[in-house]
Structure 1
């Protein structure tokens, strides 16, 4: 399985809606398995 991770190493989000604060970075936005509609149960344990 291939995991896709979306990361934004910036203080503000690209759309300007979120600001992590002075000297902080946002980090991981989301992660998901490519080609699957639902994550396996073992992932949540």
Structure 2
């Protein structure tokens, strides 16, 4: 295995509400998790 970099995206429309999920991975030993939500859901 030469690289562990990856990217993925999924979009869904559920009852008129749109959700998007993006995953991004790079060669690191630690993980950083960032969640962005609209102000209405936060």
Which structure shows the higher helix fraction?
A: 1
Same fold (TM over 0.5): no
Q: TM-score band, normalised by the shorter chain?
A: under 0.3
Which structure shows the higher strand fraction?
A: 2
